[in-house]
Amino acid sequence: DIVMTQSPDSLAVSLGERATINCKSSQSVLYSSNNKNYLAWYQQKPGQPPKLLIYWASTRESGVPDRFSGSGSGTDFTLTISSLQAEDVAVYYCHYGYTFGQGTKLEIK
Amino acid sequence: QVQLQESGPGLVKPSQTLSLTCTVSGGSISSGGYYWSWIRQHPGKGLEWIGYIYYSGSTYYNPSLKSRVTISVDTSKNQFSLKLSSVTAADTAVYYCARAIVVVPAAHNWFDPWGQGTLVTVSS
């Protein structure tokens, strides 16, 4: 079974500062047929369902602010929020296949 | 845009079968191109994919739940459903339905959008 491991489990960042969340897969998420990494990131605010932020590791879903960016390939990926806003407080999950990471709770310092 | 809404009993007794329905609006299940999924979240915990179905009836299930799960589709009602048998307290969770963009089932896919979720409690 694939294991998705996020780090850190929780993170406190000052408003306007950069937040970085890492995700490591136990096996490659690269689909060789189209050379795309099928790694997705979701944001879940309290009491709400998860919302897709990024797919193909680095493609922002329509309507997602450009302060959110994804990077990485193969087994190692990063979600970066370039300038943290108050509304970004949430739990963030990475996802591949039928496995989600354990989540990273992002708070304001 | 496509919206999904879960419905069903909020309380199920142990050993019984949990049954939920997801109604899709703003798009047709039978138009193809997407799979239709169930995902759950135990209280205060992470996300667990249960399975998904294509409009043709093809299904894929999480191996850890496969023996207890049935997902079906009713294209005439634009709905799909989840049945989870022999439930225990460990099945208490918020159950979400979601649309899946699938290239390779159970591998290369993502979920968007999601329904609001419904809490199902297993208790006598």
| pLDDT (tens digit per residue) in B38-55 | 999 999 899 999 999 999
Q: Which amino acid is at A21?
A: I
Interchain pair A49, B107: CB under 8 A: no
Out of B63, B104, B115, closest to residue A31 by CB: B104
User: What is the pairing mode between strands B118-122 and B11-12?
Assistant: parallel
For chain B, helix (H) and strand (E) counts, in that order, are 0, 11
Q: In this structure, what DSSP letter does residue A57 have?
A: T
Q: What is the pLDDT of residues B85-100, one digit of tens each?
A: 999 999 999 999 999 9
**Which backbone phi and psi does B66 adopt, to 5 degrees?**
-50, -35
Tell me the pLDDT band of A105, cut-offs 50, 70 and 90.
very high
Give how far A1 is from chain B: nearest CA, Å. 10
Distance CA B87, CA B104 (A): 30
pLDDT > 90? residue B81: yes
Compute the average pLDDT of residues A69-94.
98
Minimal Cα distance from A54: which residue of B? B110
Is residue B111 a contact partner of residue B99, using CB atoms and an 8 Å limit?
yes
| pLDDT value at B105 more than 90 | no
Please measure the distance between the N-terminal and C-terminal CA atoms of chain B and give it in whole angstroms.
Answer: 39
pLDDT at B24 over 90: yes
Alpha carbon A48 to chain centroid, angstroms: 17
Contact assignment for B108 to A31 by CB distance below 8 Å: yes
Model confidence pLDDT, tens digit, residues A1-56 = 899 999 999 999 999 999 999 999 999 999 988 899 999 999 999 999 999 999 99
Can you tell me the distance from the alpha carbon of B30 to that of B43, in angstroms, rounded to the nearest whole number?
33
pLDDT value of position A61: 97
